[in-house]
């Protein structure tokens, strides 16, 4: 099993995804309940964009290791890719509860909230990224987009305030990008 894990890792590093996938399947045949084999295999399935199989394997990892934050994050990615957005949001929440400084989990959560048209939650998530990384132009653009989208569904002073904040965030993103 150790040899298969090392072989799959090497195959991934050299870009042999088909070989890595076959090796991962062999590792699962040897021991489909061993957490490191499951994790390695799930990661390979995620990388080759077989999100449904990656989700199945990450679910098994989490059943064996409920506090494995990497598996939880990656399961959230697999869920997001299979349009299980509410499940993904819940897992990203677990990730940021465990590590409030996880910028990528905050970003992914914001993207999902924006997709679900939960604009206040999206804005809060994106703004958390900008607090953690003030020079993150991607996050500032996301804040701008979420405020702009919110301005389309609210009225009056609230809409005007959203437009103003969208413009401010956009200007911040442009300023960062031009540096």
Output the 3-class SS for the chain: CHHHHHHHHHHHHCCCHHHHHHHHHHHHHHCCCCHHHHHHHHHHHHHCCCHHHHHHHHHHHHHHCCCCHHHHHHHHHHHHHCCCHHHHHHHHHHHHHHCCCCHHHHHHHHHHHHHCCCHHHHHHHHHHHHHHCCCCHHHHHHHHHHHHHHHCCCCHHHHHHHHHHHHHHHHHHHHHHCC
pTM (predicted TM-score) = 0.86
Per-residue confidence (pLDDT) for residue 168, from 0 to 100: 98
Per-residue confidence (pLDDT) for residue 20, from 0 to 100: 87
Per-residue confidence (pLDDT) for residue 111, from 0 to 100: 97
Q: Residues 58, 35: contact at Cβ < 8 Å?
A: no
pLDDT tens string, the chain, 179 residues long: the values are: 778 878 888 888 898 888 988 988 888 888 788 888 899 889 888 988 999 999 999 999 999 999 999 999 999 999 999 999 999 999 999 999 999 999 999 999 999 999 999 999 999 999 999 999 999 999 999 999 999 999 999 999 999 999 999 999 999 999 999 98
């Amino acid at each position: 099993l150790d040899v298969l894990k090392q072989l799959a890792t090497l195959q991934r590093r050299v870009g042999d995804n088909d070989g890595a996938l076959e090796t991962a399947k062999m590792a699962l045949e040897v021991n489909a309940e061993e957490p490191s084999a499951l994790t390695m295999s799930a990661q390979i399935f995620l990388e080759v964009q077989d999100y449904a199989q990656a989700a199945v394997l990450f679910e098994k990892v989490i059943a064996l290791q409920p506090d494995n934050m990497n598996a939880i994050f990656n399961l959230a990615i697999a869920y997001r890719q299979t349009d299980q957005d509410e499940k993904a949001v819940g897992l990203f929440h677990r990730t940021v509860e465990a590590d409030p400084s996880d910028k990528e989990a905050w970003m992914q959560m914001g993207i999902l909230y924006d997709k679900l048209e939960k604009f206040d939650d999206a804005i809060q998530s994106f703004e958390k990224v900008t607090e953690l990384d003030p020079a993150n132009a991607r996050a500032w653009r996301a804040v701008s987009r979420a405020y702009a989208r919110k301005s389309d569904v609210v009225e009056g002073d609230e809409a005007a305030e959203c437009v103003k904040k969208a413009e401010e965030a956009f200007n911040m993103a442009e300023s960062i990008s031009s540096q």
